[in-house]
Amino acid sequence: KQEVTQIPAALSVPEGENLVLNCSFTDSAIYNLQWFRQDPGKGLTSLLLIQSSQREQTSGRLNASLDKSSGRSTLYIAASQPGDSATYLCAVGLGYSTLTFGKGTMLLVSP
């Protein structure tokens, strides 16, 4: 059974810092990996999607990498802003649209 772990569970940084969120998964036979953002009491917003054949994806200040063989992914956020404060979820795709989620990393960026 696929298990997804996210470290750290919570992170508090001052504005402007670069930061890295970590995600690990137990079964490397994945279809894709996605990073989502969830604001309190809200749904999910897809940030980056990495296909199993890809190594990384970039969108603005966000960069996500994937090392399938070691079962790891990282989300790099450059020059963090207070508006980045949210919970970041990593989800592994195991087949057509089936996702297994980690518990998330709660990020707080202070002004």
- 4 sits near another protein (criterion: CB under 8 A): yes
Amino acid at site 108: L
Question: Which range touches another protein (CB under 8 A), out of 15-23, 42-50, 60-68, 69-77?
Answer: 42-50
Nearer of residues 57 and 80 to another protein, judged by Cβ: 57
- Report the number of secondary-structure helices (H) and strands (E) in the chain: 0, 11
Give the DSSP letter of residue 82: G
Specify whether the CB–CB gap between 8 and 103 falls below 8 A. no
Binder to another protein among 18, 70, 98, 110 (CB under 8 A)? 98
Give the C-alpha distances (Å, rounded to integers) separating 49 from 17, 37, 41, 57, 90: 24, 12, 23, 7, 10
CB of 22 to another protein, least distance (A): 15
**Closer residue to another protein (CB): 7 or 79:** 7
Contact flag: residue 71 with another protein (CB under 8 A): no
* Structure tokens belonging to residue 44: 């999910």
Interface with another protein, residue 40, by CB under 8 A: no
101 binding another protein? (CB under 8 A): yes
Q: Which helix (H) or strand (E) holds 75?
A: strand 72-77
Q: Would you tell me which residues interact with another protein (CB under 8 A)?
A: 4, 34, 36, 41-46, 49, 51, 89, 91, 96-104
